[in-house]
Amino acid sequence: MDFSPTSSGCTKGIRCTADINGQCPDQLKAPGGCNNPCTVFKTDQYCCNSGTCDPTDFSKFFKNLCPDAYSYPKDDATSTFTCPTGTNYKVVFCP
């Protein structure tokens, strides 16, 4: 997936070409895809309901495959950013 700004004022985009579904951990496999660990386990460790979150093995797995993507609440600053109101984007699902 490629989610890139096409207008000025925002220089950062998100790109991930990894086959996440093909490499999905067995515990998270779902028909046709890969589940979120919170959906599967429903624990604070994976859902971050308490507001205190640390990376998990699953978030590290996804972050390793797609470093630009936001993988868990309070993820590192490299994947949390904003673009100005009115920014236009190009979205490509299979780059």
pLDDT tens digits, 43-94: 988 888 887 788 899 989 998 999 888 877 677 767 777 889 999 999 998 7
Of 75 and 27, more confident: 27
Domain boundaries, the chain: 2-92
> What would the mean pLDDT of 1-8 be, rounded to a whole number?
87
Indicate the Cα dihedral angle 28, 29, 32, 38, nearest 10°: -20
Please name which of 18, 33, 11 lies closest in space to residue 81, comparing C-alpha atoms.
Answer: 11
Whether residue 95 has pLDDT greater than 60: no
Q: Residue 11: is its pLDDT beyond 90?
A: no
pLDDT at residue 81, rounded to an integer: 77
Instruction: Tell me the CATH class for 2-92.
Output: mainly beta
